[in-house]
Structure 1
């Protein structure tokens, strides 16, 4: 998996979800030519307004939205986050109370924990993570409120994570560029199991997941 270090490349997060809602507002001007094609930052940010990058921008006015017909049951989104620290989640579309109620909010989710065993600098502006080890999964129910709420990590995932990091630190880096002592190598896969129904739309959104 590739992760950009710049906010100008939210499109690289498109593979961090099983689906993404298409942009639904007017696009900025799309320039012609090699240096000013669809890759210009304004257009890229517009086209990726519902991508997983919106989960980690520390702005609850933006959100990831699944993009399949219906309520998005079974759709997933991935975040890299430090599971050893407290985690909070902003459920639904947090831009305002009207949009929050009009759109679906996840009710029950299934949380899958993974840890990356290999890292490498894929390019100057990106890092890559690979060879993931599965830790565990558990069901979790979210409250229906337009604000942050705690996201508690299961003891089984934490135990396996610490055991894995101890194992990796003792072995050393080998050919990996991971800093197993300090780097955040834990990943959560959030799977939608059920929703609080929106009054107008069937899109299911999550605005933020952060420490």
Structure 2
């Protein structure tokens, strides 16, 4: 009897899980579509470091007020691994979770807070995640550290989607549907690590950029 009950419970749990989370697969992108150099001394001689989302983007009008994480790797030799690094337009920094092991169960949260913006009447929203998986400082660092294979995404604490990521050094995108930000409210997006691609040297799991594209800016 217990065997039948256990089997029924597992099947019921699986069905419930599938109803709560839709599954979305990332799409492979190219770095050249998202990074531009400051200038060129000649067609083949760029000046400075490549800049992420140079020019106008969703961030001309959209913003994130608070970014936090369940854990962060401790600072080392002046290098930080804070949650804010995942949203700083810089591929050379990263949020790295700070728990032993591969960080399964750790999460990062984005707060879109419009409670004190009297002139905001709604209209802003996001439709796509722009993601640099792993520690994108350079290819060797990327290979040595672990990357995210799967994220669970929550909107205001409610299950929204399972995001299946690509183990790629270059940018990838995830079409998540339209999530609008109402006026006089705070919207919180949570991304929880559920699976990882193991690094060659370190168990620490990293993400260099988790940023957004969307609607309501132009």
Smaller-chain TM-score bracket = 0.5 to 0.7
Greater radius of gyration (CA): 2
Moved over 4 A (4+): none
Q: 1:175 — aligned with what?
A: none
Question: Partners in 1 of 2:148 and 2:175 — Cα distance?
Answer: 16
Question: How far is 1:187 from its partner?
Answer: 2.9
Question: How far is 1:103 from its partner?
Answer: 0.4
Write out per-residue CA displacement over residues 63-109 of structure 1, whole angstroms, 9 at most, x where no aligned residue.
00000110000000112466524321111000000010000000011
What SS does the aligned partner of 1:98 have?
helix
What SS does the aligned partner of 1:86 have?
strand
Q: Within the alignment, does 1:53 sit opposite 2:54 as a pair? A: no
> Aligned to 1:110, which of 108, 127, 152?
152
> Aligned to 1:90, which of 132, 137, 154?
132
RMSD: 2.2
Q: Within the alignment, does 1:150 sit opposite 2:173 as a pair? A: yes
> Aligned to 2:76, which of 5, 15, 24?
24
Answer 1 or 2: which has greater strand percent. Answer: 2
* Unpaired stretches in structure 2, ≥5 consecutive residues: 1-65, 113-123, 213-218
Q: 1:62 — aligned with what?
A: 93
* Unpaired stretches in structure 1, ≥5 consecutive residues: 1-11, 28-45, 115-133, 170-177
Question: Partners in 1 of 2:146 and 2:125 — Cα distance?
Answer: 26
Write out per-residue CA displacement over residues 145-194 of structure 1, whole angstroms, 9 at most, x where no aligned residue.
112111222x4xx4xx54x83xxx5xxxxxxxx4x6xxxx5432111111
Q: 1:189 — aligned with what?
A: 190
Write out per-residue CA displacement over residues 190-209 of structure 1, whole angstroms, 9 at most, x where no aligned residue.
11111110000000000011
Corresponding pairs, count: 136
Question: Partners in 1 of 2:88 and 2:101 — Cα distance?
Answer: 27
Q: Within the alignment, does 1:76 sit opposite 2:107 as a pair? A: yes
**TM-score, structure 1 normalization:** 0.58
- Report if the CA contact (8 A) 1:94-1:100 is conserved: yes
**TM-score, structure 2 normalization:** 0.56
